[in-house]
Amino acid sequence: MSLRAVLLITLQREPGTGYDVLQRFRTGLAHVWQASHQQIYRELDKMQREQLLSCQTVAQYDKPDRKVYHITSEGIAFLESWLASPLGPQPVRSPLFAKFFVWERWPADARHAELASLRNTLEERMDSYQAIESAWFSSPDSLHPHERAPWHTLLLGKRLTQTWLAWIDEVLEEDREAIS
Amino acid sequence: MSLRAVLLITLQREPGTGYDVLQRFRTGLAHVWQASHQQIYRELDKMQREQLLSCQTVAQYDKPDRKVYHITSEGIAFLESWLASPLGPQPVRSPLFAKFFVWERWPADARHAELASLRNTLEERMDSYQAIESAWFSSPDSLHPHERAPWHTLLLGKRLTQTWLAWIDEVLEEDREAIS
DNA sequence: TCTTGATATGCAACAAGTTGCATTTAATGT
DNA sequence: ACATTAAATGCAACTTGTTGCATATCAAGA
């Protein structure tokens, strides 16, 4: 249900195609939602059939058509009711922690590769958050109240990522000491 | 795939029934994995059919049978190969952050209810982590190296939860100021 | 006594997300 | 000249997770 809501949120700000949404998920919405193109296209199509979105097909000579989706009044109603109803707790599912639980069976080289690659992912994530911050929230004090809210989420995203990074470094350090 | 691995991990430590696993997910594994009883029962059954687990049906007079699952050598092989292969990044999906993106459309009372209930969930989570720590890791310095690893994950879980709590309080505070 | 909650298991239908495949055009790099 | 990447869309099959329902026993509390 949340994918729908996120699609409505971004299309309400600005109408666009499936591909446009995919790009937004990769850039300005990177810390909010990620989905594959298949999922996006399928959901947009379904939402159009359910009247939450309307679609203008823009023909382009010698190129495949662009399908530009717009939110409808039904879509707005759906979004408002989604906003009004509480989310309910998200289940904890951490395969990495599971691996830590069987540390003794986890081969050292696989462990190091895993943690190094995770560290890398987190640093890239940090960079992308930083990029979003520079692009949209360079002077937080002069933001309108409703612009401050998304800025806060970015702040939390950064803090959580930093907490992870610090922890990984501690674990790697302890592992190095244990070997020596 | 990760649910399978988690089931193998806990059943390798100690054989048990679906219900047993459900209890472990609610207590000692609360910061690692959570799943509903339906999911657990179905997956255990499937894994038995695929020879990753064996099952002893223990009849109990006047009570429904207990199905005790044990890991097989194939199950161990599966687990080892899961441990050896890297996890790949988990997609970011945060419906709460999405709500923050449309702050201006998010009714104030729904917002407060949402944040208060999340705060509550996080504090309960913190308590359950604390309970796990007291029960299993009361003296971290005297733990064996492979016992320290799961303790580390608990530490990270606590830190992440605390980061969330601090952030929520900041947001609530700013919101109160904005109203006054 | 009656109800609630814990123990213990399961089916069926559905929703959400992944993986693999497939197409066309244009631009850019080797 | 050839290969790759980006732009742009989609289908089909599969896996994973949720929701609603259903069953039976036992203990404890109102």
Domain that holds residue B165: 95-179
Residues around strand C, C-beta < 7 Å: A 1-4, 35-36, 38-39, 42, 62-64; B 17-20, 23, 37-38, 41-42, 44-45, 63-67, 91, 93
* B99 and B36, same domain (yes or no): no
Residue B51's identity, in one-letter code, is Q
Q: Render the burial of B25-60: b for 16+ CB within 10 Å, e for the rest.
A: beebbbbbbbbeeeebbebbeebbeeebbeeeeeee
Q: Are A45 and A98 in contact (CB under 8 A)?
A: no
Name every chain A residue with its beta carbon within 8 A of the beta carbon of B178: 145
Kindly state whether residue B90 falls inside one of the protein's structural domains.
Answer: no
* B111 and B75, same domain (yes or no): no
* B108 and B78, same domain (yes or no): no
Percent with pLDDT over 70 in chain B? 97
- The kind and range of the H/E element at A43 are helix A37-49
* A8 and A30, same domain (yes or no): yes
Q: Within an 8 Å CB–CB cutoff, is residue B35 touching chain A?
A: yes
User: Which CA-bearing residue is nearest the C1' of D7?
Assistant: A19
Mean per-residue pLDDT for B27-55? 95
Q: Which residues, in sequence order, are bridge partners of residue B160? A: none
Residue A64 pLDDT: 61
Kindly state whether residue A89 falls inside one of the protein's structural domains.
Answer: no
The structure tokens listed for B147 are: 């016992």
Q: Which band of pLDDT confidence, cut at 50, 70 and 90, is reported for residue B30?
A: very high
Name every chain A residue with its beta carbon within 8 A of the beta carbon of B146: 103-104
* A103 and A44, same domain (yes or no): no
* A125 and A80, same domain (yes or no): no
Residues of chain A scoring pLDDT < 70:
59-64
Residue where one domain finishes, among candidates B58, B84, B110: B84
For residue B71, give the CATH number of its domain.
1.10.10.10
Q: Render the burial of B149-167: b for 16+ CB within 10 Å, e for the rest.
A: bbebbbbbbbebbebbbeb
The structure tokens listed for A162 are: 């930093």
* B64 and B111, same domain (yes or no): no
Q: Which nt sits closest to A17, CA to C1'?
A: D8
Q: Which band of pLDDT confidence, cut at 50, 70 and 90, is reported for residue B69?
A: very high
Q: Which residues, in sequence order, are bridge partners of residue B58? A: B66
Tokens 């969930």 -> residue: B121
Model confidence, pTM? 0.91
d(CA B52, C1' D2) / Å: 48
Q: Say whether B59 sits in a helix, a strand or coil.
A: strand
Q: Which residues, in sequence order, are bridge partners of residue B56? A: B68
Choose among A95, A159, A170: nearest Cβ to B87.
A95
Q: Angle of helix B18-26 relative to helix B2-13, nearest 10 degrees?
A: 100
Residue contact A105–B83, C-beta within 8 A: yes
* A118 and A69, same domain (yes or no): no
Q: Within an 8 Å CB–CB cutoff, is residue A103 touching chain B?
A: yes
* B78 and B131, same domain (yes or no): no
Distance CA(B166)–CA(B171), nearest Å, equals: 9
Residue A131 pLDDT: 87
d(CA A112, C1' D27) / Å: 51
Mean per-residue pLDDT for B18-34? 95
Kindly state whether residue A15 falls inside one of the protein's structural domains.
Answer: yes
Kindly state whether residue B150 falls inside one of the protein's structural domains.
Answer: yes
Summary mean pLDDT of chain B: 92
Decide if pLDDT at B119 tops 70.
Answer: yes
A168 φψ region: left (φ > 0), alpha (ψ -120 to 50), beta (else):
alpha
Number of domains chain A is built from? 2
Kindly state whether residue B32 falls inside one of the protein's structural domains.
Answer: yes
CA torsion sign for A110, A114, A117, A123 is negative
Q: Which band of pLDDT confidence, cut at 50, 70 and 90, is reported for residue B20?
A: very high
Q: Within an 8 Å CB–CB cutoff, is residue B121 touching chain A?
A: yes
Residue contact A174–B9, C-beta within 8 A: no
Residue contact B97–A157, C-beta within 8 A: yes
* B11 and B38, same domain (yes or no): yes
Kindly state whether residue B102 falls inside one of the protein's structural domains.
Answer: yes
Q: How many CA atoms lie within 13 A of A149 on its CB side?
A: 19
The secondary structure of chain B in percent helix, strand, coil, rounded to multiples of 5, reads 70, 10, 20
The structure tokens listed for B73 are: 């050598």
* B127 and B164, same domain (yes or no): yes
Residue where one domain finishes, among candidates B20, B49, B84: B84
Least confident of A51-60, A99-108, B121-130, B170-179: A51-60
Percent with pLDDT over 90 in chain B? 77
* A79 and A101, same domain (yes or no): no
Residue A6 pLDDT: 98
Decide if pLDDT at B117 tops 70.
Answer: yes
Distance CA(B164)–CA(B147), nearest Å, equals: 27
Distance CA(B25)–CA(B35), nearest Å, equals: 7
Strands B53-60 and B63-71: what pairing?
antiparallel
Kindly state whether residue B122 falls inside one of the protein's structural domains.
Answer: yes
Cβ within 8 Å of B, A 79-98: 79-80, 83-87, 89, 91-98
Q: Are B126 and B165 in contact (CB under 8 A)?
A: yes
Residue where one domain finishes, among candidates B31, B64, B84: B84
Using CA atoms, how far residue B5 sits from A178, B43, B131, B145, in Å, is 27, 11, 25, 22
Decide if pLDDT at B63 tops 70.
Answer: no
Cβ within 8 Å of A, B 6-25: 6, 9, 12
Kindly state whether residue B89 falls inside one of the protein's structural domains.
Answer: no
